[in-house]
């Protein structure tokens, strides 16, 4: 599975610039890396009013293996999930880590 052609075109100049300036090859795409996270749990949180790549989140979810979860915060802007819903954000993230790290149900 690969990222959308639009996403690759949109990021290609940045990846090329980083590769040239750093002397390192570009990193693999998240869709290539996500399956390697399993069997560790994955929680994807994304903003409904993105602008920072959020449109790729469904591709990332498809690429990831179980266990995985998705939480879309419709009213949030890029990296604004905590600001949009602070109590729910804290609760969900703490619950995710409790389950993932402590096996708490």
CATH dotted code for 5-102: 3.40.50.1820
pLDDT score at 38: 95
Average pLDDT over residues 87-97: 97
11 — pLDDT class (breaks 50, 70, 90):
low
Distances (CA, A) of 39 to 33, 44, 55, 58: 13, 15, 25, 19
pLDDT score at 28: 84
In this structure, are residues 40 and 70 in contact, taking their beta carbons and an 8 Å threshold? no
pLDDT score at 50: 79
pLDDT digits (tens, 9 = 90+) for 14-73: 878 888 899 888 778 899 999 999 999 999 999 998 788 888 899 999 999 999 999 999
pLDDT score at 36: 95
Provide the phi-psi class of 79: left if phi over 0, else alpha when psi is between -120 and 50, else beta.
left
Q: Is the pTM of this model over 0.85?
A: no
Hey, where are the domains in the chain? 5-102
Distances (CA, A) of 17 to 2, 32, 47: 21, 21, 27
Token pair in block for residue 11: 């990021």
Q: Is the dihedral of CA 59, 3, 5, 48 positive or negative?
A: positive
């Amino acid at each position: 599975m690969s990222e959308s052609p639009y996403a690759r075109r949109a990021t290609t100049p940045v990846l090329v610039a980083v590769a040239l300036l750093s002397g390192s090859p570009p990193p693999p795409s998240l869709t290539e890396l996500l399956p390697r996270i399993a069997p560790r749990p994955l929680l994807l949180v994304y903003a409904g009013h993105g602008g920072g790549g959020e449109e790729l989140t469904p591709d990332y979810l498809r690429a990831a293996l179980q266990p995985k979860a998705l939480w879309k915060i419709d009213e949030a802007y890029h990296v604004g999930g905590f600001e949009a819903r602070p109590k729910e954000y804290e609760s969900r993230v703490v619950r995710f880590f409790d389950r993932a790290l402590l096996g708490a149900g």
